[in-house]
RNA sequence: GCACGGAUGUCAGAGCGGCUAUGAGCGGGAUUGCAAAUCCUGAGACCUGAGUUCAAAUCUCAGUCCGUGCUCCA
């Protein structure tokens, strides 16, 4: 089934086409490196990681470029606040960006260009826009002239020029700029005292934000490319500005063939923002939440829908993720040979349980691919994995003979490694999965005490002294220990 | 105000012309002294009104309500 995806510009799900057969050029707006990454960044780059993975899995050769915005008002301000050098701030935040994204098992892009390496290109494009009559010089920099290409206004957000004029209300006055219209955006900002600057035909200054992505994407891909992605908030003005710049500069329309935008993360029903105090950085969350559980939670939603992050969502994710992991580990352990016998034909209508089970799994595998092909519906894909996990667990514990079980386990492992592993990126390596969990040192400390109490409890239970048994259990709870009773006697773990 | 998106069981949330998912919660069952954990199983929903159709949660029109953007923001 062919891949379809939702294009923001065309406002519809469209068939995915590439300029070159089998090759995809994909540019995603990266972070402005003035601070550590937060949950919203995780969501965004996870969304495009999944898209990246699915395209590769579908056989495309993807050239994935993601930039770092390493010069910007916020960077300068932050550096001034902390009294440090802006370059050091940039380096530090790029390093932690990689740390955070690696932790979430986000595959690296092919290239991570930095804006400051492309200033010459930006100057060249700006000059060209001036020459073509799409830009003009004002007192405080060079601006793009919206009136020179009014038909491009609202390409992504559907807003008319008039609406924005009235909607902008009182915010437009008193900026002290000599730009002609408040909608005109800066291509080049004239130097202010104490700021890093570059030489240009318009005097010392630095590039505007929007021109950066245009310069970098064109350097890698030329005048046109397949996919441009970013957060929902970037549609306006950032991406519309890119359309103005790119299309006026190259004369190509469209420059970008598919615009993809991911939805936002809310916290407990509220927008995540610093002023509300619900701003979660990735490194903070990962202190209390397993990285793969967070990944699971974030891909268990369609990339375009907003996510409401809260305790129960994470709890749900943990539970479901552990279910998948446990099934994977059990399947790995059930593989007893290197050369499994061939399995019966998958047939969902068969009376033979193994054949029927394989038929179910085959169907769920098809459902998984169909879901991903339908605008990267990872939530539906996750549902298929969970359905398959249920089926696998059931079949593995259904009393198959050794040989069938081995073969079925091989099938299950392959199934999971392809879907949950390669595409969703939530499986650990085989070696890691089979590793016995490391003992918590705190467990060691109380171990003998707990074991003693458990013996007393077992004795009490044997003599049906439930009062005493329950008191001991309360005592253990106080120690922070949870008991799991099974047919083979009680086991325990830290809460 | 304008623009974009949404309204599905108790909740989260897929499906988007005929069959409805997934998970939590709740009911029943197995194991169990009880609880926890695990497994099996059951009930339960498609905002309102009109239209198209043999057939509508799904398409069309109207309405109501909600979210987001229009300002640096993933």
Rounded CA–C1' distance between A311 and B33, in angstroms: 34
Give the closest residue to A299 by CA, choosing from A328, A278, A323, A320: A320
The angle, 0 to 180 degrees and rounded to 10, between the axes of the packed helices A378-396 and A402-416 is 170
Predicted confidence at residue A215, as pLDDT, reads 95
Is residue A343 one of the residues assigned to a domain?
A: yes
Average pLDDT of chain A, as a whole number:
88
Predicted confidence at residue A154, as pLDDT, reads 85
Sheet holding A61-66, edge to edge: A61-66, A23-28, A225-231, A256-262
Clarify whether residues A401 and A478 are in a common domain: no
Q: Residues A465-486: what's their mean pLDDT?
A: 85
Is residue A111 one of the residues assigned to a domain?
A: yes
Q: Exposure pattern of A82-120 as b/e (b: 16+ CB <10 Å)?
A: eeeebeebbeebbebbeebbebbbbbebeeebbbbebbe
Clarify whether residues A190 and A255 are in a common domain: yes
Of A129-143, A267-281, A445-459, minimum mean pLDDT range: A267-281
Clarify whether residues A462 and A401 are in a common domain: no
Find where tokens 């699915």 sit.
Answer: A54
Beta-carbon contacts of residue A132 (< 8 Å; ≥ 6 apart): A248, A249
Among A262, A277, A297, identify where a domain stops.
A262
Q: Residues A384-396: what's their mean pLDDT?
A: 90
Clarify whether residues A428 and A445 are in a common domain: no
Which nucleotide lies nearest residue A164, CA to C1'? Answer: B70
Q: Residues A469-494: what's their mean pLDDT?
A: 82
Q: Quick one: A436 exposed, middle or buried, by C-beta within 10 A (0-12, 13-18, 19+)?
A: exposed
Clarify whether residues A465 and A371 are in a common domain: no
Q: CATH number of the domain at A10, please.
A: 3.40.50.620
A144, A96 Cβ separation under 8 angstroms: no
Residue A89 — pLDDT band, cuts 50, 70, 90? very high
Clarify whether residues A326 and A463 are in a common domain: no
Is residue A293 one of the residues assigned to a domain?
A: no
Clarify whether residues A126 and A23 are in a common domain: yes
Q: CATH number of the domain at A407, please.
A: 1.10.730
Reply yes or no on whether the pLDDT at A495 is more than 50.
yes
Is residue A404 one of the residues assigned to a domain?
A: yes
Reply yes or no on whether the pLDDT at A377 is more than 60.
yes
Task: Count CB-CB contacts under 10 A for residue A487.
Answer: 4
pLDDT tens digits, residue range A233-258? 898 889 999 999 999 999 998 999 99
Clarify whether residues A41 and A72 are in a common domain: yes
Which nucleotide lies nearest residue A37, CA to C1'? Answer: B74
Give the residue numbers spanning the domain of A19.
Answer: 4-262
Is residue A212 one of the residues assigned to a domain?
A: yes
CA distance from start to end of chain A: 47
Strand B positions within 7 A of protein Cβ atoms = 1-5, 12-16, 21-24, 31-40, 67-74
Rounded CA–C1' distance between A65 and B36, in angstroms: 49
Clarify whether residues A328 and A223 are in a common domain: no
Clarify whether residues A129 and A81 are in a common domain: yes
Is residue A272 one of the residues assigned to a domain?
A: no
Predicted confidence at residue A268, as pLDDT, reads 79
Predicted confidence at residue A10, as pLDDT, reads 86
Using a pLDDT cut of 90, give the percent of chain A over it.
51
Is residue A269 one of the residues assigned to a domain?
A: no
Give the separation between CA A167 and CA A83, rounded to whole angstroms.
Answer: 38
pLDDT tens digits, residue range A27-38? 999 999 999 999
Give the closest residue to A37 by CA, choosing from A94, A81, A86: A94
Clarify whether residues A353 and A224 are in a common domain: no
Task: Count CB-CB contacts under 10 A for residue A80.
Answer: 12
Is residue A294 one of the residues assigned to a domain?
A: no
- Which pair of tokens denotes residue A240? 């519309």
Rounded CA–C1' distance between A304 and B44, in angstroms: 29
- Report for A22-36, A312-326, A399-413: range of highest mean pLDDT: A22-36
Give the closest residue to A143 by CA, choosing from A75, A35, A241: A241
Among A262, A296, A316, identify where a domain stops.
A262
What is the tally of structural domains in chain A? 3
Find where tokens 């570059």 sit.
Answer: A198
Clarify whether residues A186 and A312 are in a common domain: no
> ipTM of this predicted complex?
0.89
Among A434, A451, A475, identify where a domain stops.
A434
Give the separation between CA A208 and CA A97, rounded to whole angstroms.
Answer: 23
């Amino acid at each position: 089934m062919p891949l379809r995806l939702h294009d923001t510009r065309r406002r519809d799900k469209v068939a995915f086409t590439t300029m070159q057969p089998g090759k995809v050029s994909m540019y995603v707006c990266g972070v402005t490196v003035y601070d550590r990454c937060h949950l919203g960044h995780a969501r965004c780059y996870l969304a495009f990681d999944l898209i990246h993975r699915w395209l590769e899995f579908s056989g495309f050769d993807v050239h994935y470029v993601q930039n770092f915005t390493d010069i910007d008002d916020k960077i300068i301000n932050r550096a001034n606040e902390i009294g440090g050098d802006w370059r050091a701030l940039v380096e530090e935040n790029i390093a932690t960006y990689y740390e955070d994204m690696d932790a979430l098992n986000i595959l690296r892009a092919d290239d991570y260009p930095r804006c400051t390496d492309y200033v010459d290109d930006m100057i060249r494009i700006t000059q060209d826009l001036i020459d073509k009559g799409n830009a003009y010089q004002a007192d405080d920099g060079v601006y793009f002239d919206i009136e020179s290409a009014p038909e491009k206004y609202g390409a992504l957000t559907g807003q008319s020029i008039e609406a924005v004029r009235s909607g902008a209300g009182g915010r437009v006055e008193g900026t002290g700029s000599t730009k002609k219209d408040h909608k005109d955006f800066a291509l080049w900002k004239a130097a202010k005292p104490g700021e890093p600057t570059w030489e240009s035909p318009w005097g010392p200054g630095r590039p505007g934000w929007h021109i950066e992505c245009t310069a970098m994407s064109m350097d890698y891909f030329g005048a046109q490319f397949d996919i441009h992605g970013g957060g929902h908030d970037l549609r306006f003005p950032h991406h519309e500005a890119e359309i103005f710049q790119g299309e006026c500069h190259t004369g190509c329309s469209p420059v970008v063939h598919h615009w993809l935008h991911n939805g936002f993360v809310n916290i407990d029903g509220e927008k995540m923002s610093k002023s509300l105090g619900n701003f979660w950085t990735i490194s903070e969350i990962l202190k209390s939440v397993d990285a793969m559980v967070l990944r699971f939670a974030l891909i268990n939603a369609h990339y375009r829908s907003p996510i409401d992050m809260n305790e129960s969502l994470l709890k749900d994710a943990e539970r479901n993720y552990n279910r998948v992991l446990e099934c994977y580990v059990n399947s790995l352990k059930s593989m007893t040979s290197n050369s499994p016998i061939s399995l019966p034909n998958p047939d969902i209508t068969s009376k033979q349980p193994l054949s029927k089970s394989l038929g179910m799994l085959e169907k769920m595998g098809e459902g998984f691919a169909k879901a991903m092909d339908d605008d990267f519906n990872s939530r539906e894909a996750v549902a298929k994995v969970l359905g398959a996990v249920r089926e696998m667990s059931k079949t593995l514990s259904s009393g198959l003979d050794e040989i069938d079980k081995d073969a079925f386990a091989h099938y299950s492992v392959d199934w999971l490694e392809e879907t949950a592993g390669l595409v969703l990126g939530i499986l650990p390596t085989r070696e890691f999965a089979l590793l016995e969990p490391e003992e918590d040192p705190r467990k060691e400390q109380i171990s003998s005490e707990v074991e003693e109490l458990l013996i007393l409890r077992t004795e009490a239970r044997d003599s049906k002294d439930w009062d005493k048994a329950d008191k001991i259990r309360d005592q253990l709870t106080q120690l922070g220990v949870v008991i799991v009773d099974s047919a083979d006697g009680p086991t325990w773990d830290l809460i």
